Amino acid sequence: MHTEHTHEGHRPDKLIHITVNGRPRTVSEHRLTYAEVVELAFPGTPADPNVVFTVSYADPNGHDGTLAEGQTVRVHEGMSFVVRKTARS
C-alpha cells in the first residue's frame, strides 16, 4: 500500500519510508499529526468516543516517545510507529 500526505500546491522534496504497525508506509510530509498516524494504522475507522488510540514511535537514532491527540511528530526515514486501539471502560 502506498500512502502519501501532501498539502495542496506543495511538491514534496522526497518520500519518507516509515513502518506503522509492522506495515511499510510512504509519506511525503516531514511532520505527521496524531490523527494522520492513526489513519495510516486504521484507515477509514470512524470516530468513536468509546475507542482510544495509543501511539508510540521510535526512530533509527534511538529517539522514542508517544503521541497524543492534537500533537505532531517530525518524521525521519526508517521511523517506526505502533498504534493500539482499545475500548474505553
Question: How many independent structural domains does the chain possess?
Answer: 1
> What pLDDT, on a 0 to 100 scale, did the predictor assign at position 13?
65
Quote the domain boundaries for residue 49.
16-87
* pLDDT in 10s for each residue of the chain, 89 residues: 344 444 444 555 689 999 999 999 999 989 999 999 999 999 998 888 899 999 999 999 889 999 999 999 999 999 999 999 999 87
Q: Is residue 76 part of a domain?
A: yes
Say if pTM beats, i.e. exceeds, 0.85: no
| CA–CA distance, 24 with 34 (Å, rounded to integer) | 18
Q: What is the CATH number of the domain that holds 35?
A: 3.10.20
Residue 5 within a domain? no
Residue 8 lies inside a defined structural domain of this protein: no
